[in-house]
Structure 1
């Protein structure tokens, strides 16, 4: 009897191992091919002179020193930081406001929620083209509304200030649908008994929001801020279509500058340095936000 059971157990164990390997091996191969190999190759190229045609030639710290003294790179970093610092709180506030409005709606909740979420489903390229038509200086839809109201046309895409404002509006518009859904999930988990206790104690709506709703949403807010910051640090297609980095490089982001160096100038080693810098900034910001999460939880 035991002799017949043991082979069956061995076959079942080998079958389970086969299923585990079949699930894990493709995942490992995928990450190794599309994530780890490019990342470590990027680290090697940052110390070389390479332009896709010649063999990589070791140049030491030349590319890193070039980045330190490159004013265009620092200007692109400043533009990226400006977009991130302004767009992140705007996205969170707009998404939370819409989520609260939808959460307490009595009629049409599903329709409004679906309509707002479509802003996230729309392709970034398509949305950027639509916004470029809207923000056109001469024939744009927004300037048409302004002139009909007796207001002067705004140079949305030709003035540095207004071009940056147009990009920020587009960034917020693209992300608010997704984070509205995230905040709706967070609002559904808010303890209703605390609300009832607050109402009994005579708290008004503002006090209920700041002392009950907002503290319970803090984990959701920290999570959303990490995702938003990582997204806005990689802003590229919106800028490439709306302004192409202009006017006068006033809206050029660091990712756009990296692509320009890597694919147009074919300075692959220098573009690799910029890529590592973007990775390090994203990692440091994410770690700081995680530390804040731990601080607030304590």
Structure 2
């Protein structure tokens, strides 16, 4: 007679799925947080809030493009739609800013689910064109429906009081709220990337046929990361609407999608900190070179060409290659 072995053994993940946080990442996040806490006492808080909102927007796109391998030319649809919904909720419905931002973020998630479910059926340039087509549909919808204000947009959006207690009319107070939102979003993206889910995403990006052969439901992963990216883009757009007290057609126009792609590529696609640097570069150019008018676009084009020719991995990508550490 044989006796079954009832001894239990701990279940461990394969070595490639046990992911620890590199020490230099902890140092960078801590240094970045410290720098951002001091920054509003040196620089204009509204400018810094714009950088933060677009840094989150670019990081959201980078999650889809850099780690999922899916190029979207329609992310302005989620950014702009969330901006409109948050602005309308705060101004017309009188909701507090946190509820308005949550509602805008939810709108981005729902729209992302609808568009993503159709877009992931295509690959490569066809995927990009499908997302662009849907984004243009959202733009014309925003242009026609009454609640968006047409070409005037939704103006004079009240910042209100956070949880009915904290008055956000003060720029410095609002800055720290925006910093909390954006930094939380960045940490969430970091956790997604450095998780078993993120590792599967990278595998699909690098070799989709092999991932299919291993039994992964590739389309489910693509849809999941698309919705996550759209939700975070919506969070950035809703926050931006409260900061600038405005939602306009610019937020949902196709050039906004192009700008965020530019931010991602300049900073470094497939890096954690690249989109932050890319957003800072582009927003700074727009802010300090505004006196050049339409020439700002040409200057952005020159920066993009120089980056592609000399820093093909992006600014942070090149630094990562030089230091031989993942950034």
TM-score (norm 2): 0.27
TM-score (norm 1): 0.29
Higher-helix-fraction structure = 1
